[in-house]
Structure 1
Amino acid sequence: MPKKNTVKKKAAKVAKKATKKATKTKKAKYKPRQFSSKVVDGDDRAPSRAMLHAVGFRKDDFTRSHVGIASTWANVTPCNMHIDKLAREAEKGVNSTGGKGVIFNTITVSDGISMGTEGMKYSLVSREVIADSIETVVAAQGYDGVVMVGGCDKNMPGCLIAAARLDRPAVFVYGGTIMPGDHRGQDVDIVSVFEAVGKRAAGEINTLQLEAIEECAIPGAGSCGGMYTANTMASAIEAMGMSLPNSSSQAAIHADKMRDAMDAGAAVNYLLEKGIRPSDILCKEAFENAITMVIALGGSTNAVLHLLAMANAANVPLTIDDFTRLGEKTPVLADLKPSGAHMMANLVHIGGIVPLMRILINEGLLNGDCLTVTGKTLKQNVSRSELKYPAGQDIIRSLDEPIKKTSHLVIMRGNIAPEGAVAKISGHEGESFKGKARVFDSEEEAQKAILAGKIVAGDVVVIRYEGPKGGPGMREMLGPTSAIMGRGLGEDVALITDGRFSGGTHGFVVGHITPEAFSGGPIALIEDGDQIVIDANKRVVDLDVTPSEMKQRMKS
């Protein structure tokens, strides 16, 4: 028996020593060449240096910090068609301030192109591919830091997940927003085209008119032009401190976006010098700042699942209930598409999001003490800017006259979604809806019915088996929601799904219903004609049937 106790004591001592060592390692100061030195220093690393000579390294480059430039460039989509230029500017920024930049590519996919097809099942998965590929290259090549340049929706969270896992000095560069298209003097964008499809089905426009909108909606490079997912996530990332001030509200084609990319390269070298890593920035308060910014801007429902995934990668305890808590005190202030009137380019024109951050910090809604990639706090960053919104502008409302006093993103529960759901309720549609279920087991089935005029006022469109497992892939329901809007039913028809929504979706919609139908969730039990009750004030999405009827349906 004493022998056993001795063994146990020794084991406990070893474990304690190992824990102490691990803690020390984690807290140790980050060295500017912490990883590259292991790749290129010493006679035994001559083969590595030989390979690098061939890609343009000079002898003195081996004594510099090596910084990966993760580019999402591709001609797949206008969101990313210009990213190569920004990556080269970031490389210049690194090289001109003492580091050695190396550009490499990761993937991107275009939701706007894949929407409504089987290809959309790969969209959310692409976030993980982006994260995994950036982590793989940076770790495999021994880069000391990384600049990540993203444009389309999944690029942003993919890049940040990689940065959190790697925990090496990192700066994110947003590719910038697209300029609006012009159709007969009206601003148009990709969502205008989706909604025009619904108008065509309703007979409000003809094929030639549809083609006219199609041909002018996307004038060039940049991410989709409303407060859709890309602009939402870029703004959230800036609010959490992982990109440079106002970098999320710049037009893709403007010179200030090129300067932003170059400055990001220089910023990484500063972070390397100071030993500032993502783990120093990505704290709980930083994620709360991101959520607050998403709400104030009227941002995408996708922010919920992306921020939760990013927090998980950063080991930050964040739950859907944090969105409710912050949503109760944060108003919607931005009158931006899809629910509002203006494009992101209009917000860029009046000064971007820095003045809004200052307003929110002064009101105590944003935590100004959080560290950022400038090495300064959020409050210090916005205090240095002289940007103010011009008098008379109507894009950002005052705190006294918000668009909505509380969040438009409503976390709901109920007998349809016992584990939660995410609703996007701007207030234009009212705060509650009761209607008759029209059930579809795929997006395609629902879209066909909507375009054929089979959905009428008072219906609740139920689209199930579109969750992460059921799809698989959790596709976005932009086609059906846009068709509803295009047919003029936006205020008279609701839509619920275990899939998700594009940032371009608006209307009375509830998504992310959990558990999903494929996993046996109650959404699988809904039948045509059932009454469904959605109440944003009570945060409830319920099927109006008795518990005994629900049990009976489960058995059968």
Structure 2
Amino acid sequence: MKEKLRSQGWFGKTGKDGFIYRAWMKNQGIPDYELRGKPVIGICNTWSELTPCNAHFRELAESVKRGISEAGGFPVEFPVMSLGETLIKPTAMLYRNLASMDVEESIRANPIDGVVLLCGCDKTTPSLVMGACSVNIPSIVVSGGPMLTGKYQGRDIGTSDVWRFNDAVRSGEMSQEELTVAEACMCRSRGHCAVMGTASTMACMVESLGLSLPENASIPAADSRRKVIAQLSGSRIVEMVKENLLLSDILTRQAFENAIMVNAAIGGSTNFIIHLLAIAGRMGIPLLLEDFDHLSANIPLLVNLQPSGNYFMEDLYYAGGIQAVMKELDSFLHGNSVTVNGKTQQENYVKSACYNREVIGSVAAPINSLSGVAILKGNLCEHGAVIKPSAASLKLMMHTGRAVVFEDIEDYKSRIDSPDLEVDETSILVLKNVGPIGYPGMPEVGNMSIPKKLLAQGIHDMVRISDGRMSGTGFGTVILHASPEAALGGNFAVVKDGDVISLDVMNRSLVLQVSDEELERRKQDWRPRHKKYTRGYVQLYQQHVQQAHLGADMDYLAGGSGSEVTRDSH
């Protein structure tokens, strides 16, 4: 052991203090030798029956424990707030920062030398990583894995089909009874979404950052190899503690650049941007929204998964997984970046291979020449906005149309399907006040439904703009994260029906064709319309959350680790 174990500040004490710490642990049937110098490894578990994606984590934690014990560590499992995207209202994103604080303080306050982060559903991964970053101890991520590909009426389906089914029901092409049958056909095993949604993107993010063992991202939750990698991760974290391999050793600027390039190649969720910015903020790594654009610019789409393609996470695993994708990107990546297994990224992926070119393309023959991410600027989004070209319509990449404005989510819900809505296929739908402050947590409502009257005409995509987010399973020509949000009273707040908006993705431009003078006049008359909360966490959130282009973290949590748990205090 290179340095004194942090846990010995509890269990290594003599006298009354040591007596208390050890005695109360022994009431669980723990022998004395377990507390005498073994690395204590926390298993941070986001299991919850209210988080269906993570409902198998108690079983997965047992595999982690076996690995810890066989490597000579002492495992201690502890719960933290679990965030189930499918059930929490208005959005799990509202509580991402709260869960990260739960993780940080749980680690900081307890005798933990290293931690295994057990996460799966969308926000559980970034919240656990953010919390661990703020403490900066040896940490490794074990993802829960994607569910098996859904099967419905002889074809493969996944979460992205929810949007297609919804439009089919609204247009009368699918009955409610058929929709009910499809529910069970889609979610037919344990695990998170089977497409390249946010949960899958987060799993790919931690692997490309070097925070998990190779192959972690894509092994299906129902595959026995998911338990194997959990056990191996448990074994490895004990060695990481002995080596004093900290998060700050792994999460360098180069690691973040690798993750951005891999995300572009896989067509990852736009939520990746907001989460990676927050993680970088916790580590004190300078990362800007513009970095996502220039680092992605020359990266084509290499992975043919829904919603940008045709296949599913299960197929990606069988085709070679993220390691095969990274090998294709070798000339772009920082191959010397260190990972949790002590090897560099290049040492990990050099022996990988692609087994299905329909699922994983090459740089020379990509799935799509368009990158998975583009950052837009203009007077409609002074601090930036995000679009996912790989999941959008090519014909709409350059488009000018008149705005159809919804002032908030309730206005949208009440009018979107009205036969009196003045809209045509050239219109641009604009949804305001669904940003971090305006609709606390920035819910995934940005991929607005196509108006019913246009669906009847066979229209299935149009330009949509909001200051909110969309599900990683969503698709279409959707512009998100417009910053500053409408609740702050900037240009986005004063867009009106009929205003002309010009989108030019190639030139990264989003412009409201209204003069500066007129915009300033409108701002003089503007009044906020969002609800201001007066108690509890949501009040704290509205007062301290940063804008989307900064990662929507709390301002008092960003700026690097402020922990006393450092390399010098082990």
Do the structures match in fold with TM over 0.5?
A: yes
Change (3 A) 1:79 1:30: farther
Contact 1:131 1:161 in 2 (8 A): yes
SS of residue in 1 equivalent to 2:287: coil
TM superposition shift of 1:43: 2.0
Q: CA deviation at 1:55?
A: 2.4
Partner-residue secondary structure (3-state), 2:400: strand
The equivalences for 1:121-132 within 5 A come to 121=91, 123-132=92-101
Structure 2: give runs of 5+ residues left out of the alignment.
526-570
**Alignment of structure 1 residues 538-549 onto 2, 5 Å:** 538-549=507-518
CA contact (8 A) 1:83 1:151 kept: no
Q: Which of 49, 62, 70 does residue 75 from structure 1 map onto?
A: 49
CA separation in 1, counterparts of 2:196 and 2:101?
Answer: 27
Counterpart in the other structure of 2:200 = 231
What residue is the counterpart of 2:360 in the other structure?
396
Which residue pairs with 2:87 in the alignment?
Answer: 113
1:416 aligns with 2:380: yes
The question of 1:278 aligning with 2:278 is answered no
Counterparts of 1:417-432 in structure 2 under 5 Å? 417-426=381-390, 428-430=393-395, 431-432=397-398
User: What is the rounded CA distance, in whole Å, between the counterparts of 1:167 and 1:488 in structure 2?
Assistant: 55
Q: Which amino acid aligns with 1:418?
A: E
Alignment of 1:281-292 (within 5 A): 281-292=250-261
Q: 1:489 to 1:223 in 2, by over 3 A?
A: farther
- For the pair 1:170 / 2:170, whether they are aligned, the reply is no
Q: Residue 434 of structure 2 is aligned with which of 466, 485, 491?
A: 466
Which residue in the other structure is 1:54 paired with?
A: 27
Q: Distance in 1 between matches of 2:484 and 2:307?
A: 28
Deviation at 1:120, TM superposition (A): 2.1
Letter in 2 for 1:304: I
Q: Which amino acid aligns with 1:376?
A: K
Counterpart pick for 1:96 among 61, 66, 70: 70
Aligned pairs for 1:50-449 within 5 A? 50-63=23-36, 64-114=38-88, 119-121=89-91, 123-361=92-330, 364-383=331-350, 385=351, 387-390=352-355, 393-426=357-390, 428-430=393-395, 431-449=397-415
Report the CA distance between 1:495 and its aligned residue.
0.8
Q: 2-side partners of 1:483 and 1:250: how far apart?
A: 38
Deviation per CA, 1:29-57: give whole Å up to 9, x if none.
962x5210000113231111001101232
Task: Give the match's secondary structure for 2:402.
Answer: strand
Contact 1:491 1:508 in 2 (8 A): no
Q: Which runs of 5+ in 1 are unaligned?
A: 1-28
Deviations 1:344-389 (A, max 9, x none): 111112221111111211xx21111000000111111123x4x422
The amino acid across from 2:379 in the alignment is: N
Contact 2:329 2:363 in 1 (8 A): no
Distance 2:52 2:451 in 1: 23
Is contact 1:69-1:148 (8 Å) kept? yes
CA–CA separation in structure 1 for the residues paired with 2:87 and 2:457: 24
Q: Which amino acid aligns with 1:409?
A: V
* Pair 234,521 (structure 1): closer, same or farther in 2 beyond 3 Å: same
Shift of 1:342: 0.9
Return the letter of the residue paired with 2:62.
R
Cα offsets for 1:532-553 (capped at 9, x unmatched): 1111011111112222322222
Q: How far apart, CA to CA, are the structure 2 residues paired with 1:335 and 1:481? A: 24
Are the aligned partners of 1:415 and 1:522 in contact in 2 as well (CA < 8 Å)? yes
Q: Deviations over 1:98-126 (max 9, x none)?
A: 10000011122222334xxxx124x1132
Distance 1:65 1:152, change over 3 A: same
Distance 2:457 2:264 in 1: 26
Q: List aligned pairs for 1:467-546, cutoff 5 A.
A: 467-477=435-445, 480-481=448-449, 492-546=461-515
The TM-score with structure 2 as length reference comes to 0.87
Supply the distance in 2 between the matched residues of 1:479 and 1:200 (Cα, whole angstroms).
17
Instruction: Output the CA distance in 2 between the equivalents of 1:56 and 1:179.
Output: 38
Q: 1:480 to 1:124 in 2, by over 3 A?
A: same
- Give, in whole Å, the separation in 2 of the partners of 1:545 and 1:228: 36
Q: Which residue of 1 aligns with 2:524?
A: 555
Cα displacement (A) at 1:83: 1.2
Task: Look up the equivalent residue of 1:67 and give its one-letter code.
Answer: I
CA contact (8 A) 2:370 2:389 kept: no
- TM-score normalized by the length of structure 1: 0.89
CA distance in 1, matches of 2:268, 2:461: 23
Where does residue 540 of structure 2 map in the other structure?
none
Aligned to 2:530: none
Question: Matched residue of 1:527: which SS?
Answer: coil
- How far has the Cα of 1:328 moved from its partner? 1.6
| Contact kept in structure 2, 1:199 and 1:486, CA below 8 Å | no
Q: Is the 8 A contact 1:94 1:266 kept in 2?
A: yes
Superposition deviation, residue 481 in structure 1:
4.5
CA drift at 1:75:
1.1
Note the C-alpha offset of 1:452.
4.6
Contact 1:146–1:171 (CA under 8 A) maintained in structure 2? yes
User: 1:483 deviation in Å?
Assistant: 7.8
Of 214-223 and 271-280, deviating more is: 214-223
In the alignment, structure 1 residue 34 sits paired with structure 2 residue 5: yes
Task: Say if 1:77 and 1:186 are closer, same or farther in 2 by CA, change over 3 A.
Answer: farther
Q: Secondary structure at the match of 1:111?
A: coil
- Alignment CA distance shift 1:489-1:312 (3 Å): farther
Helix, strand or coil for the counterpart of 2:20?
A: helix
Number of residue equivalences: 517
**Other structure's SS at 1:322 match:** helix
Q: Which residue of 1 aligns with 2:425?
A: 457
* Residues 171 and 243 in structure 1, CA contact (< 8 A), matched pair in contact too: yes
For the residue of structure 1 that corresponds to 2:442, the secondary structure is coil
Same amino acid, percent of matched pairs:
32
Q: Deviations over 1:197-240 (max 9, x none)?
A: 22211122222222222332211211111111111111111011
* 2:479 counterpart SS class: strand
Instruction: Tell me which protein shows more helix as a share of its residues.
Output: 1
Against the structure 1 CA distance between its residues 378 and 488, is the aligned structure 2 distance closer, same or farther, given a 3 Å change threshold?
Answer: farther
Q: Give the 3-state SS of the residue equivalent to 1:35 in structure 2.
A: coil
Specify the SS of the correspondent of 1:413. Answer: strand
Per-residue deviation at 1:487?
6.9
Letter paired with 2:344: T
SS where residue 160 of structure 2 aligns? helix
Residues 478/310 of structure 1: CA separation in 2 closer, same or farther (3 Å cut): same
